[in-house]
Structure 1
Amino acid sequence: MFLTRIGNRTYRFDLITYVYNPKEACTSMDVWQTDYKDDPYQLKGITRQDFDAFESKHNLELPPSYRKIVQKQNGGMLQYNSVIGEGDILFPIDHLYGIGQPGLEDSPYLIKEWNLPQDILIFSGDGNAWFALDYSAGAPSVIYIEADTEEVIKVAPSFEAFLANLTYQDPGTEMDGGNWTKEEAEAIFSGQDEYLIEEVILDFAYTDDSQWYLGELLNLTEHSSPLVREAIDGVIGNEIEHYLHESQEETVKLLKKIINNLSRDSNGDIRRHMKELKERYTL
């Protein structure tokens, strides 16, 4: 059994099978997904002088393990999709920032824009949830920050430990809705029980039938409950690279419609998140 973090809530899943990447364990030099076409996070290569200039500019020291992986590739999509944090909480993550923009250089802007803690360096995330190095106690630990709830969760005591806990989540057949059939989900989505709707939205977050799922989410973007729309916002933020990587025209079309609808949401945080996704992925 694992706990998994989706949006700003923690859920227990008993049926998910978690396995390590076929290469079994993360090594400090072998984290990147090298066959990802048009990787939105990969920046041009950097030199030792670039590292030194960044550290001098921001008055901090990057973890040696971060420097190692970024010397090989300056940011990008990971061959892993989750990290096991303290307390066996599973956090979705599929990319790391490189040095530059968009990347680590965006950290000061995000800190100011979202009123985040000052002694941090954001190295992954989108919208309203991020992974960051926390320098407040000296040697940096890794934390997970959620702007909506102002919650800060410790993930690992160091970046090296964070890398060692990266894992590949294999949803298997049981992840396609877990406790619900599609017919049951559709009936729940047409109702007004916002907590049950949120639960089912998250339960289907890893379904293989992306077109069906995104079609249901599109309908729910007009739901009266902020809780339901926030759940959709969290799923889209976590899974957008997956949907874009599928490259199926109908999937991308549905994704864009969801983002456009949520861009007009009454919740300012949701509108801002959608704007950031549009800009980052040129949607």
Structure 2
Amino acid sequence: MGIEKNEFWDSNYYNHPALTDEMVEMAEKELGVKLPSLLIEFLKVQNGGYTKGFAHPMKQRTTWAENHVPLSELFGIITEKSFKTVQNILATHYMTKEWGLPEKQVLLTGDGHWWITLDYRNGKSPSVRWIDVECNEDIEIAPDFAAFISGLVPDSVFAEEE
């Protein structure tokens, strides 16, 4: 693995509560999927928030950049309905309808126009995808979450190009 989970996180700006097994079970039931165990491991260190600033190299150009996509935040699992945060994978159903996203996605990060998702359209083991709804991009980033994490590099690698 390229990035260690204890070296991954930066700010927990929204003060997300610590992730519990009960929260994971509730999320998986609501989303109708089994989440990757490595994602849960990362979220048990910090339940979502801002990362230390990573990017995933891409062989195919996206609307973000010619050769990478960003990962400056990763959504957590917040089951308390009254808790206010924009970094919650449980907003997936609402955002899917709001932005016209393909079904069977779990949103990992994004701003509405673009998303990085866990894509369950081909079965129970999700790939990681880049989806830009305005430009009709739907591109595989990695075949699974572990490969996605393994491919991350500090975003400073691409800083000179921007």
2:139 is paired with a residue whose SS is: strand
- Partners of 2:100 and 2:119 in 1: CA distance: 15
When residues 27 and 162 of structure 1 are mapped into structure 2, their CA distance, relative to the original with a 3 A threshold, is same
**Cα deviation 1:169-198 (Å, max 9, x = unaligned):** 3269x83xx7xxxxxxxxxxxxxxxxxxxx
When residues 119 and 171 of structure 1 are mapped into structure 2, their CA distance, relative to the original with a 3 A threshold, is closer
Instruction: Select 1:79's aligned residue among 52, 57, 60.
Output: 52
The corresponding residue for 1:135 is 120
- Partners of 1:128 and 1:137 in 2: CA distance: 23
Q: Is the 8 A contact 1:83 1:166 kept in 2?
A: yes
Q: Which runs of 5+ in 2 are unaligned?
A: 62-66, 79-84
Instruction: Select 1:163's aligned residue among 132, 145, 149.
Output: 149
**Cα deviation 1:139-187 (Å, max 9, x = unaligned):** 1000010011121010000011111111113269x83xx7xxxxxxxxx
The corresponding residue for 2:2 is 25
Q: Is the 8 A contact 2:31 2:90 kept in 1?
A: no
Q: Give the structure-2-normalised TM-score.
A: 0.82
Q: Is the 8 A contact 1:142 1:162 kept in 2?
A: yes
Name the structure where helix makes up a greater proportion of residues. 1
Q: Give the structure-1-normalised TM-score.
A: 0.48
- The total of aligned residue pairs comes to 149
Alignment-mate amino acid for residue 25 of structure 2: D
2:53 is paired with a residue whose SS is: coil
- Partners of 2:50 and 2:95 in 1: CA distance: 20
- Partners of 1:98 and 1:169 in 2: CA distance: 21
Q: Which runs of 5+ in 1 are unaligned?
A: 1-23, 179-205, 207-283
The corresponding residue for 1:55 is 28
The corresponding residue for 1:66 is 39
Q: What is the Cα deviation at residue 46 of structure 1?
A: 1.9
- Partners of 1:76 and 1:114 in 2: CA distance: 22
TM-align CA RMSD: 2.3
Residue 39, structure 1, aligned to residue 13, structure 2: yes
Q: Which is bigger in relative contact order (C-alpha 8 A, separation at least 6)?
A: 2
When residues 163 and 48 of structure 1 are mapped into structure 2, their CA distance, relative to the original with a 3 A threshold, is same
Q: Is the 8 A contact 2:2 2:149 kept in 1?
A: no
Q: Is the 8 A contact 1:30 1:69 kept in 2?
A: no
Q: What is the Cα deviation at residue 56 of structure 1?
A: 1.4
Larger radius of gyration: 1
- Partners of 1:28 and 1:65 in 2: CA distance: 9
Instruction: Select 1:108's aligned residue among 93, 113, 125.
Output: 93
Q: What is the Cα deviation at residue 81 of structure 1?
A: 2.5
When residues 86 and 142 of structure 1 are mapped into structure 2, their CA distance, relative to the original with a 3 A threshold, is farther
1:79 is paired with a residue whose SS is: strand
- Structure 1 stretches of 4+ moved >6 Å: none
- Partners of 1:115 and 1:61 in 2: CA distance: 23
Q: Is the 8 A contact 1:82 1:92 kept in 2?
A: yes
